[in-house]
Amino acid sequence: MCTTCGCGDGEVKIDGEHAQHEHVHADGTRHSHDHDHGHDHGTGEAHEHPHAHAHQHSYAPAHAHAPGLGARRMVQIEQDILSKNNAYAAQNRQRLAERGIFALNLVSSPGSGKTTLLVKTIEMLKGRQRVAVIEGDQQTSQDAERIRATGAPAIQINTGKGCHLDAHMVGHAMGKLELPEDSLLMIENVGNLVCPAAFDLGEAHKVVILSVTEGEDKPIKYPDMFRAAKLMLMNKCDLLPYVSFSVPRAIEFARRVNPGIEVIEVSATTGAGMDAWLEWIARGAVEFEKPRLERLGT
Amino acid sequence: MHEMSLAEGILQLIEDAARDQAFAKVTTVWLEIGQLSGVEVEAMEFCFDAVMHDSIADGARLEIIALPGTGWCMECSMNVPMTEVFGECPQCGGHQMQVTGGTEMRVKELEVA
């Protein structure tokens, strides 16, 4: 059990170390307890939950108390199941905003080319934009090593049995990464089109990657992910002549679940479309920085 | 969609509440689950039992209150019922829909002993 934040024992490892303790004695210097978990329920009033229930249900809790089973009582909870994760995500978001770090959460099925795309992105941004990467996989640190080979700092989270990154793991990883101010943080989620949709990590946007070697109907088969994403990158477009993938149909399906989703066609291998993607990042970063710059300016 | 993780989230909320409000046994858990939340009720029931095993909610009854899905149709400029996140508008048949309700996943209350 993590003594700082009460996270349970698990198989989560960050750069090979168990996530729960190493942040306590990290390297002496940073000793980073910099995310005090704001939802510390110590005082008994923790359930005066800030977002009151907007819709009143005419629901009476069926007081069918079986006789002879002792004194039973009702306890109001009224909390979102993901509220713990969301609280960590809010902390991450605040830390990122304070330092002007634009964070993207890259999600896709396994094998869509996320890591290759990241490597290419980092190479193209060299000298223009500092990038740090948090890599999520169930096992191995191969992806982080591929990123480090580009010279960008990267940290690997191994989720063990977990099928997605959560905001708590990412908060720990952020503490270990030296994130320069005004940099770009790319979080490569576990390859999975289902669960990562529900877990806010504190990112500015989710970017979903769909490669043309997959089915064009993935957006309607896995609607939650495409609904959560701001941008869909259609990767491996150099292979379009060899596969029966209709780009317009894929876009139509994506807009059916998310009318506002933006789409960029890319090939990380040939570099086609990468400029449009980098431009999208630059635009997003400017947008993200605005409130902070206004604050600093006043 | 990921009912095991959600069940673990439920247990965390229960354990936090147990510490704050000093109870040792949970007999019933009421969840509010929106129709568009992606939660499969049967999978949730299965995972709930598995995750609550050997906890203070071991053997607790799970009651799921279903909340309806609604969406804003951009064509009709009105809120309409939705049964799927990529569903069509029952008025105009269009797909220009933004979900406005029914994505809830909430622990409402507990019966404790």
Residue boundaries of the structural domains of chain A: 98-297
Greater pLDDT, B86 or B51: B51
Cβ atoms of residues A285 and A183 within 8 Å? no
Cβ atoms of residues A139 and A117 within 8 Å? no
Please give the structure tokens belonging to residue B10.
């439920």
What's residue A98's pLDDT? Answer: 92
In this prediction, residue B1 has a pLDDT band, given cuts at 50, 70 and 90, of: low
Say yes or no for a CB contact (<8 Å) between A224 and B38: yes
CA proximity to A223, closest of A205, A210, A211, A213: A210
Say yes or no for a CB contact (<8 Å) between B106 and A223: no
In this prediction, residue A19 has a pLDDT band, given cuts at 50, 70 and 90, of: low
Cα distance from A235 to chain B (closest Cα, Å)?
23
Q: Are strands A154-158 and A13-14 parallel, antiparallel or unpaired?
A: antiparallel
Burial class (CB in 10 A: 0-12, 13-18, 19+), A43: exposed
B78-82 sheet: strands from edge to edge: B78-82, B69-73, B97-101
Cβ atoms of residues A160 and A13 within 8 Å? yes
Cα distance from A103 to chain B (closest Cα, Å)?
24
Residues of A in contact with B85 (CB under 8 A): 223-224, 227, 257
Residues of B in contact with A41 (CB under 8 A): 16, 19-20
CA proximity to B111, closest of B21, B49, B45, B40: B21
Residue B37 clears pLDDT 60, i.e. is over it: yes
Distance of CA A233 to the CA centre of its chain: 16
Q: Which whole number is the average pLDDT over A238-263?
A: 96
What's residue B2's pLDDT? Answer: 78
CA proximity to A228, closest of A252, A250, A196: A196
Q: Which whole number is the average pLDDT over A156-180?
A: 91
Q: Which candidate in A48, A77, A258 is best for mutational testing of the B interface (most B CBs within 10 A)?
A: A77
Asked if A73 is an interface residue toward chain B (Cβ–Cβ < 8 A), one would say yes
Please give the structure tokens belonging to residue A35.
């995310």
Q: Give the chain A residue whose CA is nearest to the CA of B86.
A: A257
Chain B residues at the A interface, defined by Cβ less than 8 Å, are: 1-2, 5-6, 9-10, 12-14, 16-17, 19-21, 23, 27, 30-32, 38, 65, 74, 84-86, 95-99, 101, 104-113
Please give the structure tokens belonging to residue A125.
């941004």
How far is Cα A250 from Cα A161, in angstroms, rounded to an integer? 31
In this prediction, residue A69 has a pLDDT band, given cuts at 50, 70 and 90, of: low
In this complex, the residue of B1, B14, B17 whose CB is nearest that of residue A194 is B1
Residue A32 clears pLDDT 60, i.e. is over it: no
Say yes or no for a CB contact (<8 Å) between B106 and A72: no
Asked if A61 is an interface residue toward chain B (Cβ–Cβ < 8 A), one would say yes
**Which neighbouring-strand residues pair with B98?**
B72
CA proximity to B87, closest of B101, B98, B74: B98
- Give every CB contact of residue A126 below 8 A, 6+ residues apart in sequence: A150, A151
Topology of domain B3-68+101-112, CATH: hypothetical protein PF0899 fold (3.30.2320)
pLDDT tens digits for range A70-86? 678 999 999 999 998 99
- The CB-side HSE value for A213 (13 A sphere, CA atoms) comes to 11
Of A15-24, A153-162, A208-217, B95-104, which gets the smallest average pLDDT? A15-24
Residues of B in contact with A75 (CB under 8 A): 17, 21, 23, 109-112
Please give the structure tokens belonging to residue A37.
């978990």
CA proximity to A34, closest of A106, A112, A98: A98
pTM comes to 0.79
Of A234-248, A282-296, B66-80, which gets the smallest average pLDDT? A282-296
Please give the structure tokens belonging to residue A200.
């806010």
In this prediction, residue A38 has a pLDDT band, given cuts at 50, 70 and 90, of: very low
Cβ atoms of residues A235 and A121 within 8 Å? no
Q: Which whole number is the average pLDDT over A267-289?
A: 96
Buried/exposed code over B34-72 (b: 16+ C-beta within 10 A; e: otherwise): bbbbbbeeeebeebbeebbeeebbeebebebeebebbbb
How far is Cα B72 from Cα B75, in angstroms, rounded to an integer? 9
Cα distance from B60 to chain A (closest Cα, Å)?
13
Q: Which whole number is the average pLDDT over A255-278?
A: 96
pLDDT tens digits for range B54-82? 999 999 999 999 999 999 999 999 999 99
Please count the residue pairs, one from chain A and one from chain B, whose beta carbons lie less than 8 angstroms apart: 114
Of A14-23, A171-180, B17-26, which gets the smallest average pLDDT? A14-23
What's residue A70's pLDDT? Answer: 61
- The CB-side HSE value for A5 (13 A sphere, CA atoms) comes to 27
What's residue B14's pLDDT? Answer: 96
Q: What percent of chain A has pLDDT over 90?
A: 67
What's residue A10's pLDDT? Answer: 59
Residue B88 clears pLDDT 60, i.e. is over it: yes
How far is Cα A213 from Cα A199, in angstroms, rounded to an integer? 26
Domain A98-297 belongs in CATH node 3.40.50.1100: no
Say yes or no for a CB contact (<8 Å) between A73 and B111: yes
Residue boundaries of the structural domains of chain B: 3-68+101-112
In this prediction, residue B96 has a pLDDT band, given cuts at 50, 70 and 90, of: confident
